[in-house]
Structure 1
Amino acid sequence: MLKISLTLVIPAYNEEERIEKTIEKISNYKNIEISEIIVVDDGSKDKTYQILKNLKEKYNNLKILKNEKNEGKGSALKKGILAAKDEIPFILISDSDLSSPIEEVERFLPYINDYAILIGSRGIDRSYIKKRQPLLREFMGIIFNLIVQLLFFPKIYDTQCGFKLFKTSVGKKIFNEIMTKGFTYDVEVLILAKLMGYKFKEVPVLWYHMGKSKVKLTKAPFLMFFELINLYLSYRSRLKALKPFFCGDKPLRKKVF
């Protein structure tokens, strides 16, 4: 076992078909100590919550939180991260379908002492997409990333992969401030990290398109676009006040807010 302990936070919405298999795969992974697994049921309308309650009897490190209504991925992750134990040094977030297998966390290990946040990426050298998304979904993702690069981060190539590692204190500080409830929470995470002076890095990961996505192409792209514009209007003055570099993984002495 590698000497690292973490909390794993997973948002789940209508995942009755695969949540049990996901928890089983995570629990069978022994290379790293996963001290607690926090699953946030984001107002599921199926049997996800009941399945999780049954699994709690088998897995002692499983913690279940619930939103009474569907609030969005960002909201679910905020609840889970703020509930993580302070004494566990790292928080890993992952999609409930394990589109990046749990073993991919080992790619983060060479960088954990130098960066506060590590971003799983499908868009840089040595990333490997084993099963691609449908063409339209992939095209929309490219457009979204181009807008993010134009407005915020010209050298970040994939903000939206759901596989990220935080130092626990950093993750809690950022998610305590986060406003975005939907899918663009990833962008706000990096905005806040930049404003707080935390250093982050993209790390290539293996990724599969697992199917049965909760992102509806008839609605989500428009909502995500307006969320990006709202983030830009909310943060642009503070971002412009920053020097064009980060310093370490501790907050800057001169804070922007």
Structure 2
Amino acid sequence: MESSVKTRLVEVVVPVHNEQRALRASVLRLHTYLTSTFPYGFQITIADNASTDDTWRLAGELAAELANVRAVHLDAKGRGRALRQVWSVSDADVVSYMDVDLSTDLDAFLPLVAPLLSGHSDLAIGTRLSRASRVVRGPKREFISRSYNLLLRSVMGARFSDAQCGFKAARTEIAQALLPAVEDEQWFFDTELLLLAERHGLRIHEVPVDWVDDPDSRVDILRTALDDLRGLTRVARRTLSGAANLPMPARVREARLPRGMAHQLPRFAIVGVVSTVAYLLLFSLLGLMMPVLAANAVALLVTAVANTAANRRFTFGVSGPAGALRHQVEGLIAFLVGLALTTGGLALLPDDVSHEVRLVAVVIANACATLVRFLLLRVWIFHPSRRTSRRPS
């Protein structure tokens, strides 16, 4: 039995870029842990993506020094790019990755890969948002993480709880089937892979993890947040168009949107983009003349009224004056939700935070409020059973 277990191979990829400070200690710790406790065969692959410091040299030294450790060099940056290159040619049974800072407790690794090796699940992720998880990180990162995952669940219908935790695994055959349809090469790679997997009905196993934030993290929060929002827009567009359908096992059934949503979502998205731009411009202008919280409330109220009116006619096909006042009054409920989300997000930020970070916070909170608005508009305010006037097709 022991020999058959050892013949199963798990490849652990550690993507790195300019990580000379942490690389050696982290790989030694990981190698020692897997050698002493992991019951399956393993391969650690250090994927250096375009480092300009001594990372590549150190990776080569570790590969020469330690059994089951190898190093791969890429000429371009990108965590997604590194994972794609290694996973696409892997001959392991399961491919996985973890961040070089090892923020996630390694005791969660065996529970992560075991359901994949048994064939019970297709992909597995560590989640920091489970009640059983123990997480140490600042309020800003906590707010951004929860808002982003709420956005995924509300708009994209995602059922997984944590898209951003750097602790994931997949059956190799499944990963290699999905990779051709994953476009992103950076931080959004994880989210796109998981959304694609759910679209094709694949099983995603979640493991609560103990996680400690790395105080030396150099992730550009503003740029990453904007890239993620662009990625979500692209994936939503491809989903609506029916693109990226891949050959999958017979048991897999493709997820479908509820009736009517296929034409409502893109129209709602257009109205939402225009409203968000108007909100940001108004918020920035009013912020020069009044307190931040007051500027946020006024900007949100003005754009909420305009948003309800535009969606009433353009998205849900309701015209004429009948019911217009009622629609606006009910739309104010979504306004109050948005006000609570954005005000709460601003209140969590330190007083000395930069204007760019403040804008990221309100964009994420406003996006969450927008999703709540769509659900309220669809299932309550403009539900067909409550419409009093309908524009002809």
Correspondence 1:106-121 to 2 at 5 A: 106-108=110-112, 111-112=115-116, 113=118, 114-121=120-127
Structure 1 residue 67 and structure 2 residue 74: aligned? yes
The C-alpha deviation readout for 1:23-77, integer Å capped at 9, x for no partner, is 101111122234211111111121111110111210132221122132x211111
8 Å CA contact 1:197–1:251 kept in 2: the answer is: no
Distance 2:20 2:41 in 1: 23
Structure 1 residue 37 and structure 2 residue 51: aligned? no
* Deviation for aligned residue 1:178: 1.5
TM-score w.r.t. length of structure 1: 0.85
Distance 1:109 1:229 in 2: 31
* Deviation for aligned residue 1:106: 2.2
Q: Tell me the SS of whatever aligns to 2:11.
A: strand
1:187 paired residue among 187, 191, 213: 191
The percent of aligned pairs where both chains have the same amino acid is 21
Corresponding residue for residue 227 of structure 1: 231
TM-score w.r.t. length of structure 2: 0.57
Which residues of structure 1 form unaligned runs of 5+? 242-248
1:80 paired residue among 86, 93, 96: 86
* Deviation for aligned residue 1:225: 1.3
Structure 1 residue 176 and structure 2 residue 169: aligned? no
8 Å CA contact 1:198–1:251 kept in 2: the answer is: no
Q: Tell me the SS of whatever aligns to 2:242.
A: helix
8 Å CA contact 2:108–2:207 kept in 1: the answer is: no
8 Å CA contact 2:93–2:171 kept in 1: the answer is: yes
Tell me: CA distance 1:127–1:117, structure 2 relative to 1, closer, same or farther (3 Å): same
Distance 1:195 1:154 in 2: 9
* Deviation for aligned residue 1:213: 1.8
Tell me: CA distance 1:209–1:172, structure 2 relative to 1, closer, same or farther (3 Å): same
Distance 2:41 2:16 in 1: 18
Residue identity in the other structure for 2:212: Y
Distance 1:203 1:92 in 2: 14
Distance 1:77 1:151 in 2: 27
Residue identity in the other structure for 1:28: T
Correspondence 1:1-257 to 2 at 5 A: 3=5, 5-29=9-33, 30-32=36-38, 33-70=40-77, 72-85=78-91, 88-108=92-112, 111-112=115-116, 113=118, 114-129=120-135, 131-132=136-137, 134-238=138-242, 250=249, 252=251
Tell me: CA distance 1:187–1:236, structure 2 relative to 1, closer, same or farther (3 Å): farther
8 Å CA contact 1:107–1:205 kept in 2: the answer is: no
Q: Tell me the SS of whatever aligns to 1:97.
A: coil
* Deviation for aligned residue 1:251: 5.0
8 Å CA contact 2:10–2:43 kept in 1: the answer is: yes
The C-alpha deviation readout for 1:116-156, integer Å capped at 9, x for no partner, is 11111011131121x21x32222222221121112223432
**Higher relative contact order (CA closer than 8 Å, sequence separation 6+):** 1
Q: Tell me the SS of whatever aligns to 2:96.
A: strand
Higher strand share: 1
Which residues of structure 2 form unaligned runs of 5+? 256-393
8 Å CA contact 1:8–1:34 kept in 2: the answer is: no
* Deviation for aligned residue 1:208: 1.2
Distance 1:111 1:35 in 2: 16
